[in-house]
Each structure stands twice: as structure tokens, then as C-alpha cells.
Structure 1
Amino acid sequence: MGSAIAAHLANAGIPCLLLDLEGLAVKGIARLKETKPSPLYDPAFAARIRAGDLDRDLAQLSECDWVIEAVSEKLDVKHSVWKRIDSVWRPGMIVSSNTSGLSINEVTSVCGEACRRHAMVTHFFNPPRYMKLLEIVPCRDTDTQAVADVSRFCQDRLGKGVVIAKDTPNFIANRIGTYSMLVALQAMEKHGLTVDEVDAVTGPLLGRPKSATFRTLDLVGLDTILHVCRNVRENITDPLEAAAFAAPAIVEELVSRGWLGEKSGGGFYRKNDAERSKDRIQVLDPATMTYGSRRKPASHALEAAKMAKGTSAKLQALLEAADEDRLAAFARDVLEATLCYSAEKLGEIADTVLEIDQAMKWGFNWEEGPFETWDSLGVAVTASKLEERGKAVPAPVASLLDKGSGTFYVRKAGSVFHYSQGHYKFVEERPEVLSLGMLRDRGRTVFAADGASLIDLGDDVACLEFHSPHNAIGPGVLSAIRQASEEVDRNWRGLVLANEGRNFCVGANLMLLLMEAENGEWEEIDLIIREFQMSMQSLRVMPRPVVAAPHRMTLGGGVEACLPSDRILFAAETYFGLVETGVGLIPAGGGCLAAAVLAQDRAEAAGLDDVTSPISQMFETIALAKVSESGHHAKRLGYWRSGDGVSMREETRIAEAKNAVLELDRRGYAVPDADRQVRVGGREAATLLKLGVSSMRRSGYISDHDAKIAGKLAGVLAGGDVPAGMAIPEQHLLDLEREAFLSLCGEPLTQARMRQMLATGKPLRN
């Protein structure tokens, strides 16, 4: 965990000293480059971490501004390390423990007062790169300014979602998250459910991750869960709560057998490597302690919940069926117990409902926090139903209702207030954070179209926000792009392309395309592609600066929407790539044109007369449907241009993009050349690329259809049958990519690939 934290600090450009027992730090840094998923945005960032020996190099800690202890969760071990840190502590140094649940007051009891004033818990959720939550827990002596400084630094530099927790066992997220999983185990026994049935209910239907209950337990480690339970039991005084954290017998049995979950090869699930079918993943039968095939539960209530739109509607569907369906009854028991426990802990583990809700969303990936769920289900209605079934209403809920309030959150004029210690507290807004949802609530929508809206960001900058299903690009989005281009040209200083969806854009509307291809509507497909190209070109030639701010999955058409912009501000977690070959096609919304321009620009920057080498790199990236593993990694794939950058903090990404637009405008924005010519590799480059494809086909690495797709791509990227180094109009490249795309749409093998992707989400190699 220490090396993973160091990796994320390195991701943020911060040099680190990693101290461990002799030789272990060096090995830890080496492992960072091999671990998948990678703790590093770019393997080169490992150079920012310097290895040291805890005994020999302890004095070097005095050079550090922040010392993070991440040794094992044993108080005596932590005391030993903290004594040594205290011996080299210097004024102003922050010292923190990465403990997941030990008392910071006990950990720091061996230190001097000066050190304690700068000491706290900084609990990074694992893995630190990917998990947003960071719980900060001050000890009784911690200086409030030190807490504020660390909190701000972790938000702004590390991109973390920070919550301030109290020094209670397991803090916020692990306390409630573990309780929720234990409740599920207890309710499983009550209702006689299988592991499959429990996970079918406690995943997305409850607004939780797909890993649900038992997959999550396996990922965390069953021995770790026992440790968490024990830590709560041994440090609380309420016997009823202690009983709720009793170690589940089935978990103890699995641990005694060494079946610890994923790290040991099996827990509630295991892989059967001898099996290659869907039965490769087997599930435990707790009654016999044997593994067998997974089974999909049959339940009308579950099917109704799956059809409902949004977490609140899914929960309502389950609750309405709870008196007739045992899986829905199980869901009600788990949900109500979790909501009540969260309410009971308000004031004890955290002061505000906001901290608890954010901790569960950022730390356990819940769609809604428990108090947001109280509100969405109706606080008064839920409390009344609890009373009808003879259950106690938690005191904070009763107090809220007694005051005549109906929700834990109140929204007024686009501002949010949350319930805290008997009154509502304004949710502080920071100027560097822009929320499109809040701006919509404040009436800042310029226009709302089918699939996209234009939002006023202030300072005469607008944002085009996709909101189609999966943010896929279809006719409505394309129309909105053209409308936004015209509107911004007339009335605004510039445009941001961004949204707050789960992903920026997963590509074009593949279902629509497949339907047209199967029906032989070639003129209609040609029209769709022309409109796609025209829409993206309208962004490129707009006489106002355009900055794209993609995040997470940005694939195919999503990439083609970004590349015409003047700047791309990648979120740190951006998975960026032209992936059309995976469905038997090539990029045709300007993606091949953009790749040729990138190759030309790279050749010019390197002083090369020949564009063949950079074209070859782009060909390989696109032909193999490579996707970046981070925003930084997009540079290695050849997608970066001069001026592009990465935003570490998700909440500030849109504001940073807005500032980039303003900066381009202040510098005196040069209107793009609508008649730009592109220097290409021509027939010589195409021949070279196709020779490579032919070699791969003869070696059996690719199929005949793969070779056909790659051949089409090579011809387009090289600019067609023209001499090497010739400058050709952009429209010529657009025509080439459209013609190749159309011809591939007519291939039965391509249509099979498209069907496979739509049906399973996985590529077909045929």
C-alpha cells in the first residue's frame, strides 16, 4: 500500500522517498511497473520515487514535508515506527497514518505534543490511483489549520474526494460498508438465498457496484473483513452493535481453509482454469462447501427493478414487491437496516450527512449515499413503513420529521443545503468547481436538444454537454454540435465540450448503423457519415476557441469529437482511443483525417521530410484499437498535441477547460484555416503499411477480415494513391475514410462483429 500511495503522489508530479525494510522499497517500485491495473499513469513516473532503507535512511525524513506511515495494522508496529518518525520530526512536517480503522489518538500516543499537533489519519482507499475517497481523521491535538491544508492539498493536487471523519473504529466508509455486507449475510440466511441470488440483488439494483456483496468480499479479502469486524467489536460499548459485527461463521470457515478470496485464488467465487466456457467462474454452495456453476435467479421483482430507470425507481420496484417476493423481501431488509444504521451513526462517526454520503459513494462506489436514499424514497414514508413493521425510527430521522422537515437535503435557487446537527448547512461552493447540474438548476441552459444541451458556464463561455444514452453520438447529438457551433460563433467567446456522465462518450450509435447496414440503406449510411464529418469539421473551423474535456471512456466517435478542438484537457482517468476496427470498421467521422494531421505535425516537430514513421505509429494505434490507460498515456499513443494537458481533479475539470478557452481568447485567437492541406505518405507509405499487414496475416496473427480492414485503414491514412509528401485537401481524406467505411459496412463479417459487440459488449474475431 505504501508503494501504491507513493505511485499516486508521483502521478501528481510529487517526488517521493519510499522507505521500507532493506531491499523492499526497490522491489516495491519495480512492481509498480508490472502491476495491472497500473498504479501509475505512465511507467516513466516511477522515476519520481526514490527508494530508501528504513534503518539507514531514516534521517532523510527530515527533508520531507509530509510523512505517510503505511505499515501493518498492528498498534505495536505502528508505535515503533511513529517513535522513529518523532525522533526526526521537524517543525511544520505533517505526519499521517494510512490506517483503515485504528485510533489515531492511540497511534500518536507515543509522540511528542509538537508532532501530534501535525498528526492525523489519511486513509487512502485501495487502490489509491483509482479510488477517490480519502478519509482524514484528526487526533485530539491536531491543529485545525493542518487538517485544512492537507485536505486542500489532497483535493487539488491528488484529485481526492476528502471527508473529515471522527476517531471511531473503521471511520465512515468501512464502518457502514462492512455493516451493510454483514446485514446481507444475515438476511441471506433468514431468507434462504444462494450466493448468486444475494449478488443479483445487492449490485446495481440497490445502487451498488456490480461486485455486489460476495465479489466485493473476495476482492477485499475475507481475512481483512474479519479484522475489520474485530476492530469494531473490540472498540465499541453497545452490545447490540457489537453483535451485529460478529464474525460470520461462513467467513470464518473459509478463512480457516485458506480460501481468502481473490488473493488466494478462491473465496465465495473461484476460477476453474480448466474450463473455458461461461462456467469458468464457479460459485460456492455454503451448505456443502463445494463450488459449482453460477445460476441466474428467476424473479419477477428483479426483472421489474431492472426495467426501472434510475436507482430510486429500482429501489421502489423492489420495495413494492417485498411482501410477495423473497428476493425483494431480502432487499428490503438489507436496505432498511443500512439506512437505519447510517442514521444512527450520524454525529458519532461524522458530523454531517454529506460526509457520510460522499464517503459511501467515493469509497464503496454507491450510486447514492444512505441519506440521499432516505430522501429519494421519502423520509416520512420510509419512517412510517418502519413503524408499521414494528421497527424503531432512528433518532436523527425522528428529529428531522419533528422539525417539520421532509428531507436531509434542501435545494433552493440552485444551491444545496444538508442536514447537520439539527439544522441545515450550506454546501460550500468553490469557484474552481463548476457543476453542469447546478448550472441547469439555475436556469443557465442556452438550448436543450435531443441528446445534448448547451450550458452557460459564465464569462461568455458555453459548454456542450452530451446526455444521450451512454452519451453515444447519434443524429440528435450531431445536430446539437452544429447548432452549438453556430450559436457560439455568433454570441460567445468559446466552447467547452464536456459532460458529467459516467463516461464522456462511448462512440457512435452502433445499433442505428447496424440496422441501416442490414437493410442495405447505403445512401442513408452515407448521409449519416457525411453529417458526422460535417459536424466535427464545424468544431474545427469555428472562429472561436474550443477545448474538449473528456473523462473515463472516450471511444471512437468520442475521440473524433475531441480531436477537432484547439486543446484537449484529459481527465487523469481517461481511456481514449479510436476502436472502430474492433467492430470491423475504420474511423470515418474525421478520425482518420485527425490521425493524418497528428502525424504531419509530429513529423514537422521532429524536422522530418517524410511522414511515414509517425503515420506508422498512428496506423498501429488505430489498427490494434489501442486505448489509453490514462490521460497521460494518450500521449504515448500519439493523440496529444502541443498545449494538451491533464486534470487531476474531476470536480475542477470543466472549470479548467473554461479557463483554457478564456486564455486562448485573451491571446488573440487565430481563426482556423478552413482550406487546410495535409501532407501525407502517399502510395509508398500505404505499400509499406500493407506489407506489414500481409506479414501478420501469413504468420497467423490476424484473420483475412482483419487484413482487409487494416488494408483499408492503411490506404486512407496514407492519403490514397498520391505521391509521397503530397499535400492534399482535408476533404480528400474525409472522402477516403467515408468510402472505406461504407464498403466495410457491407461486409457480412463486419456486420457479425457489430452484432456481437451490441449483444455482449465484447469484440468478435472472425
Structure 2
Amino acid sequence: MSYTIRKVGVIGSGTMGGGIATLLAGVGIPVVLLDIAAKDTQAGDPPAKRNAIAIENIERLKKSRIPAIFHPNDLERISIGNLDDDLSRLADCDWVIEVVVEKLPIKQALMEKLEAVCKPSAIISTNTSGLSINAIAEARSEAFKRRFLGTHFFNPPRHLKLLEIIPGAHTDPALVQFMARFATDILGKGVVICKDTPNFIANRFISIAGGFGMNYAYDHGYTVEEIDLLTGPLIGRPKSGTFRLADVVGVDVLAYVAQNLYPAIPNDPQREVLRHEGITRVTEFLMQNNFLGDKAGQGFYKKVEQNGQREFWALNLRTLEYEPPQKVRFESVDKHRKTPDTGARIKALIAETDRAGTYLWHLHAFYLSYAAAMLGEIADDIPSIDNANKWGFNHELGPFEIWDAIGVRESAARMKADGYSVPVWVDDMLAAGCETFYQRDSSGAVTGVYDPQRRAYDAVLPDKNIVMLHQLRSAGKVVEENSSAALYDMGDGVCLVEFRTKANALDNDIFALIQRALERMDRGEFDGMVIGNQGEYFSAGANLFIMAMAAQNKQFAEIEQMITGGQQLMQTMRYFHKPIVTAPFGVTVGGGAEITMTGARVVAHAELYIGLVEVGVGLIPAWCGTKEMVKRIITPAMQVQNADPLPPLQKAFEQLALAKTSNSAMEAREMGFLRSVDRIVMDRSRLLAEAKRTVLELLAGGYVPTPPHKLYAAGRDAKAALHMAIYQMHQGKYASDHDAKLARHLAHILCGGDLSAPTWVDEQLFLDLEREAILSLLGEQKTLDRIQHMLTTGKPLRN
């Protein structure tokens, strides 16, 4: 049977079900979202009343602190109903996924209904986080079982990469392959194929290995704050650490998972971890008092107002009292925290003998021992266990990758000496002279992975959809570099410029390297360029420290040169005779947004938070950013006969004056940062390869840059209208004096200055106005105060 997915049914509209529905709608797939009918309603009641549960859940997703919806228009692709009245609407769905309560009889009863209503070719799946796939479909026909499988998303579905696919005993292998491709190519997920075992892979690990970490902390007198410091970014994990993560997930949820997992794994030698007396006492205390974590306002941490300041007090695991925050410091952590490579940092830390080193050694010894013991039972191969841990919990390294980094032979001997079991297959591997689980070439790319069944390495072919800059560096592909940037040869005539400053802030060295890359392209060394990196941010904008120092020293000639040079470089890039593709992701603000818009094409990750936010530091966009808003928002609107300039002016003005940023790449397109020709990639790991592919496509199509064209300058009448709005905001105390001054500068630029009538002008007029405005603002003390406050606190100052 061949499979296709053009329409999906989702049953269950809670946080997970609603999140899956909005993810699918976000990639353009129509969704039928059903939930139970509201209480005290009956057939024939108005849909708004009957479907109240699903409607309320979608409204809650709209307001979610972590955005679940890519763009408000996505909701138009979601059709809401209820299971009593609308089950038949699933009849033309190509895929139906249930996301209902984790109770086997309820899921089994639902499967009976789905078999009756869904078309014979429909894919049916469950989002269960741990119930048996085979048990859920036990009473169904053989034909149903062939098209049934588990598809376990992680919460929030939009943001967490992992999708565990769990075939049942009768699932069509072709369906498993199809769903893996669909999830990877369309949804941007990292797919791991799991066995039908309790809690599958990722949740099995977080329950057992995470439980051990808490237990060891309790037994050896570590504090909640100490453990969260040790189990966060220090070892390549999120800032939430261990106990903070428990508050985010929910203390009751973790307790429920442990309670259900324990009887389901009678042969797991580590299952007693789930019934540790001390931690059980703590969780029972928290649950009895409804201290369930973030959703209840407190859990292992509690927000406390002290002297007008908000503090996070941590629970003492022994006394069960909340205590004021303590400064946590370990000598070994101070010594090694700046080691750049995560694996090397973990190796150095576990070699230390202080409290930090001791805890981290035992945490990892258990983790690695458990991973090795579970291979073959919950997964057939090493990468599945590594990827489930990385993609499910945003860890940098999986357990076997960590084991390679710290040295398998040495650490295995130490583990045995400290009472941690090492499976026979690991001993056999070492005895055969295989020192690592992964084989890597000189660039660091994986070329083989150890297979315990064959007692040999299986070859791993390179993924042409993924480019890793550290591998290009190791392979000697760095053409040129300085302290702020590097130029790489990506092959096929394409080069790449990588930013490498703190927060990838733009400075003169970055601009100098881009200029030299353009010169190399001009000489024929390269045919096209990608601007991209693999840091935490694409770019947080200009280096404010350099600009502030120059302003404080009254070096206005140098500042003007910096601004003019930046404008000229951006314009050169924009109209360069060879294609330049920018590849932004995540935080892309200020100058980062401006350099993004230089691309002949933009290939953006879906999680793109882009904006021209300069007003927050008392400035305006002056590296062509304000001009680009005129070009992208105002000018196209005014090419329509008799168009009113105020609506597009108002849109551009509000975006800049309110420092708006996009919630996603889809919103960025509506805001004018991306165009219809620009591409959006769901999987960030594919971003640079897709950008390179776009360069090659432009070259194959005979690339010719779009020439500059006239822009619409609305003139002083439109400017007066904006000034009136600014005056009203100022009078209403919604804007400070300096806010109003900034807004007037923006209005002046957007309208083309004081032209007596609307006219079409060259781009240079707007660039001149940008430059004049920023030079004026850098002479203002209040602007310097805003810059200093941002550099000191990381937060904007309203003065």
C-alpha cells in the first residue's frame, strides 16, 4: 500500500493534542480537531457550546508562554468538533492520531470507533507516552493493525525535535518508513524507531537515570540548587537542570509516570530507583500540598517577594522547608566551565574529587551503565538511544557519545570498581580492539557505529542534508578567519561566512571578512555565498560596546564611518552579481535582521525571532533596516493606484517604534523580513545545506540580481499624521520623552524627510536619513544610558 497525508484528524485538544494540531496546521495541513463534548450539553446545542472544551484549549494555546502557533492564520486550517457529533468527519482524513488520556481501556474503545469510521487506507496512530502499542490495538482486525503504530511527540510539539515511532507487531514496514520520512521532511522532526517497551526510550531514561540523579543528591546531602547547577549547561543540558525541570514537567506527572512504570518493568535491575524512600517522601509532601511545580506556583522552587525583588527559594530535601537562594560555587566547576568542548569538559569534571566531580562521576557512571544495559531491549542500535536523549531533552550529547568522549576503556574499569555494571558486550568490544562506539573521520564526522550483534562497526553514510561547521573546520575547509568570523569552502563553488563573536554581535572584523569574501567571489574563487552559523543566536545585532565607547569619547567621525561602511557593505551584498543566501534562525535582531535582508534569498529556520529592535537601546536601524521597511512594506502598497499611504506607514512605524519581533519565520514573512521567494526550513540541522542548495539553484537558473528601484517617500503630510499619533502616545504617558524623540526620528525617515509632496526617490535618500538620525541619537545621554543598561543587565531601559 502507498501512503499520503493531505488531511489529519487529531483526537484530544489538550496541551499535547492541540500542539500537534497547530504544528500540522503550521506546515499547511488541514486538521480536524476533536475532543469530548462539553458537560451539560446535548446534541443540537450550538457548536460553540458543544465544542467548548476544544475551543478553550485552542484559546489557551494562543496565550501560551512558549508559542505553540507559528502564525494566527494557521488556525483557519483547524476545524473543531466533538467526538459525539463529529466522529464521521474523520472519514476523509489520511492520518488520525489520538492524544487522549493515558488509560488503556479508553484508548482501546476509541480504536474500535476509529476502525468503523476511518477509510481503509487511513493511517491510525497513538501518541501514548508509554502504553503498549500492541495492547492498544489488541482487539482490532489484522488490516487495522497493519496501518496502526505509535507516534510519540514530545511537549511542546513545535519546539522539541524528537518523534518516537513505535511499530506494533503487525505494522506495515512501508508505513514505518513513510511516517519517518514525513516526520523528518515535512515536520522537521528527529525520528527514532523504538521497540514496544514501557515508556519507549526517552521517557524510560528520564525516569530511571533522572530518578537516580535525584536519589544520589538526597542520599549525599546535595542541595536542589547545587544539582541544577551541575546538571545544566555545564554538562551540555538545558538550564533547567534536574529539579527545575521537574517543576516545568510537573511533580505529579513525574510521580504518575514512575508509579505506572515500576510494575511494567519487573525485569529492569534499576527499577527500585523509582521507589527511593527519601525522594518519595519529598514528592508525597509536594503533592499533598499541591506544590506541583510551575502550574501550581511552587514545587522544588518557590517564587518569593523579598524587599521588592523576586527570588526563587529552593526546597530543602531533608527539612522540606523553602530556603533563600544560596550562591553555589565549586572549585572544579570554576576550573573547567570554560572548556569549549562539552565532552572534554565532562571528562575533566568527572576526574575531579570534590563534591561536584564526585556527583557528576556517579551520575554519568549510572547513566552510561544503564544505556549499555538497555541496548537490545528498548532499541536495536546505539544512535537510537543517543538521539532519543538528545532530541527529547535538548542534550548536546547522548550517553554513548559521552562515553566515547571520556574514554570507554578507562571509564569502564572505573565503573566496575565503583560497583556499576558494564555489560559483557562492552567488554567484548574492548577486547576486540574497538575503543569507541562511534568511528569518526579526521573531520569528526561519524563513519561507523558499533553493532554488538555483529561485533563490528556498521558503516554510516554521510547525510547530504546536513552541514556541520566543526566538521568543515576539521577537514581543513577554513579559507580565512579572524577573531570574529571565519570563511569556509562548502564545496561546489560556494563559500560560507560564520560569525563567532559573543551572541554573534556584528563588528568591524566580521564586516572585513565579508568584504574579503566578496572580493574572492569577484576574482572567481567562489560562485556564491552563504551567511550562516551554528551558534545559539544567528546575531544579536551590532556590537553595542564598541559603539557606546566611541560615542562617549565623542569619536563621531569614526561612528559615521562605521555606519556608512555598514550601509555600503549591506548595499553591495544586496546587489552583488553573484548570489548570496542568508540562513537566519532563532534570535536575529538589529543588525542581524539587516544582514539577513541582504540575501538574494533567505533560507530561514521556522523558529526565527527577527526584528529591528534598536529603539530599545535608544537608536534606530541604520544599516539599511529602516530603508528596507520602506522598500518591503510601504513601496509595494503604493504601487497600487490611489492607495492610501497611512496603513503601510503605520505598519512599518509600529514594527520599528515598538521593537516588534516575529514569533516564527511564518510571522516574519508577514512582517516583511522574508519575501514570498524565501524558504522556511523546519529542521535547523538542515539549514546550511538547504542554503547552499539554494545558492546552486540560483546559479543554475542564471542568476541576475534585481536592480535597485525607486522607493515611495510619503512626505511631510504623512509625517504630520505620524507625529500626531506620537504626541497622543506621549501625552497619554505611554511613551517617555526619549521614546517620543526616537519615534519622531523614525517617522522622519519612513516618510522620506520633509518632502512637500509624495514622490519616488532613490534608496540613498533613506540611507542618508538613517545616518543623520543615528549620529544625532548617539550624541544623546539618554541613548548612552540605554546602551549601558542593556550591556549591564541585558534588559532595555525606559528613560
Aligned to 1:583: 617
- TM-superposition CA deviations, 1:333-352 (whole Å, max 9, x none): 22222222122212222122
Amino acid of the structure 1 residue aligned with 2:30? P
CA distance in 1, matches of 2:563, 2:450: 51
CA distance in 2, matches of 1:327, 1:412: 33
CA distance in 1, matches of 2:598, 2:737: 33
1:646 and 2:677 aligned: no
1:233 and 2:245 aligned: no
After TM superposition, the structure 1 stretch with the greater mean CA deviation from structure 2, 27-36 or 171-180, is: 27-36
Amino acid of the structure 2 residue aligned with 1:400? M
CA distance in 1, matches of 2:268, 2:629: 65
Which of these residues, 78, 88, 95, is aligned with residue 59 of structure 1? 88
Is contact 1:479-1:535 (8 Å) kept? no
Is contact 1:602-1:614 (8 Å) kept? no
Aligned to 2:40: none
Aligned to 2:112: 83
Is contact 1:564-1:594 (8 Å) kept? no
CA distance in 2, matches of 1:276, 1:361: 40
Alpha-carbon distance, 1:299 to partner: 2.5
Alpha-carbon distance, 1:185 to partner: 1.3
Amino acid of the structure 2 residue aligned with 1:152? R
After TM superposition, the structure 1 stretch with the greater mean CA deviation from structure 2, 696-705 or 513-522, is: 513-522
Which of these residues, 466, 469, 475, is aligned with residue 508 of structure 2? 475
Which of these residues, 251, 270, 286, is aligned with residue 254 of structure 1? 286
TM-score (norm 2): 0.90
After TM superposition, the structure 1 stretch with the greater mean CA deviation from structure 2, 540-549 or 88-97, is: 88-97
Is contact 2:180-2:191 (8 Å) kept? yes
CA distance in 1, matches of 2:272, 2:25: 43
Aligned to 2:273: 244
Aligned to 1:39: 68
SS in 2 for 1:115: helix
CA distance in 1, matches of 2:365, 2:80: 49
CA distance in 2, matches of 1:52, 1:516: 61
- TM-superposition CA deviations, 1:481-501 (whole Å, max 9, x none): 112222234434433222222
Which of these residues, 283, 287, 300, is aligned with residue 331 of structure 2? 300
- TM-superposition CA deviations, 1:441-491 (whole Å, max 9, x none): 444444444433333444433333323332221122111211222223443
Which of these residues, 488, 498, 511, is aligned with residue 465 of structure 1? 498
CA distance in 1, matches of 2:124, 2:406: 42
The structure-2 alpha-carbon separation of the partners of 1:276 and 1:728, relative to structure 1 and needing over 3 Å to count, comes to farther
Aligned to 2:691: 657
SS in 1 for 2:563: helix
The structure-2 alpha-carbon separation of the partners of 1:559 and 1:26, relative to structure 1 and needing over 3 Å to count, comes to same
1:555 and 2:589 aligned: yes
CA distance in 2, matches of 1:741, 1:559: 17
Aligned to 2:297: 265
Is contact 2:201-2:385 (8 Å) kept? yes
Amino acid of the structure 2 residue aligned with 1:19? L
- TM-superposition CA deviations, 1:352-407 (whole Å, max 9, x none): 22111211111111121111111222222322333444543343432332221222
After TM superposition, the structure 1 stretch with the greater mean CA deviation from structure 2, 391-400 or 739-748, is: 391-400
The count of residues paired between Structure 1 and Structure 2 equals 762
Aligned to 2:56: 27
The structure-2 alpha-carbon separation of the partners of 1:331 and 1:207, relative to structure 1 and needing over 3 Å to count, comes to same
Amino acid of the structure 1 residue aligned with 2:689? A
CA distance in 2, matches of 1:33, 1:556: 27
- Percent of pairs identical after alignment? 41
The structure-2 alpha-carbon separation of the partners of 1:336 and 1:727, relative to structure 1 and needing over 3 Å to count, comes to same
Aligned to 1:113: 142
After TM superposition, the structure 1 stretch with the greater mean CA deviation from structure 2, 477-486 or 239-248, is: 239-248
CA distance in 2, matches of 1:63, 1:625: 44
State how 1:219-618 maps to structure 2 within 5 Å: 219-238=248-267, 240-246=269-275, 248-249=279-280, 250-272=282-304, 277-321=308-352, 323=353, 325-412=354-441, 415-416=445-446, 417-421=448-452, 422-491=455-524, 492-607=526-641, 611-618=645-652
CA distance in 2, matches of 1:521, 1:190: 60
- TM-superposition CA deviations, 1:306-347 (whole Å, max 9, x none): 3333423432443243x2x22332222222222221222122
CA distance in 2, matches of 1:632, 1:607: 28
**Cα RMSD over matched residues?**
2.3
SS in 1 for 2:264: coil
SS in 2 for 1:741: helix
Aligned to 1:160: 189
CA distance in 2, matches of 1:396, 1:707: 70
Is contact 1:466-1:498 (8 Å) kept? yes
After TM superposition, the structure 1 stretch with the greater mean CA deviation from structure 2, 160-169 or 612-621, is: 612-621
- TM-superposition CA deviations, 1:404-424 (whole Å, max 9, x none): 122222112655222233332
The structure-2 alpha-carbon separation of the partners of 1:686 and 1:306, relative to structure 1 and needing over 3 Å to count, comes to farther
- TM-superposition CA deviations, 1:582-617 (whole Å, max 9, x none): 111111222122122223432245445564432321
Amino acid of the structure 1 residue aligned with 2:20? I
Alpha-carbon distance, 1:117 to partner: 1.4
Amino acid of the structure 2 residue aligned with 1:257? N
SS in 2 for 1:109: coil
The structure-2 alpha-carbon separation of the partners of 1:396 and 1:519, relative to structure 1 and needing over 3 Å to count, comes to farther
The structure-2 alpha-carbon separation of the partners of 1:187 and 1:616, relative to structure 1 and needing over 3 Å to count, comes to same
1:176 and 2:209 aligned: no
State how 1:723-762 maps to structure 2 within 5 Å: 723-762=756-795
The structure-2 alpha-carbon separation of the partners of 1:340 and 1:520, relative to structure 1 and needing over 3 Å to count, comes to farther
SS in 2 for 1:63: coil
CA distance in 2, matches of 1:350, 1:222: 28
Aligned to 2:724: 691
Alpha-carbon distance, 1:558 to partner: 0.9
After TM superposition, the structure 1 stretch with the greater mean CA deviation from structure 2, 333-342 or 25-34, is: 25-34
Which of these residues, 12, 16, 23, is aligned with residue 27 of structure 2? 12
CA distance in 1, matches of 2:531, 2:735: 37
Which of these residues, 721, 728, 743, is aligned with residue 710 of structure 1? 743
Is contact 1:543-1:672 (8 Å) kept? no
CA distance in 2, matches of 1:317, 1:761: 31
Which of these residues, 68, 83, 89, is aligned with residue 97 of structure 2? 68
SS in 1 for 2:730: helix
Amino acid of the structure 2 residue aligned with 1:315? I
* Unaligned stretches of 5+ residues in structure 2: 1-15, 38-50
Is contact 2:540-2:589 (8 Å) kept? yes
CA distance in 2, matches of 1:147, 1:92: 14
Amino acid of the structure 1 residue aligned with 2:713? V
- TM-superposition CA deviations, 1:638-695 (whole Å, max 9, x none): 3233422322232333333334334433444334436x54331233333332322222
CA distance in 1, matches of 2:24, 2:66: 17
* Unaligned stretches of 5+ residues in structure 1: none
Is contact 2:610-2:668 (8 Å) kept? yes
Aligned to 2:160: 131
Is contact 2:560-2:775 (8 Å) kept? yes
After TM superposition, the structure 1 stretch with the greater mean CA deviation from structure 2, 168-177 or 485-494, is: 485-494
Amino acid of the structure 2 residue aligned with 1:525? I
Amino acid of the structure 2 residue aligned with 1:684? D
TM-score (norm 1): 0.94
The structure-2 alpha-carbon separation of the partners of 1:351 and 1:196, relative to structure 1 and needing over 3 Å to count, comes to same
Which of these residues, 175, 178, 188, is aligned with residue 146 of structure 1? 175
Aligned to 2:47: none
CA distance in 1, matches of 2:91, 2:644: 53
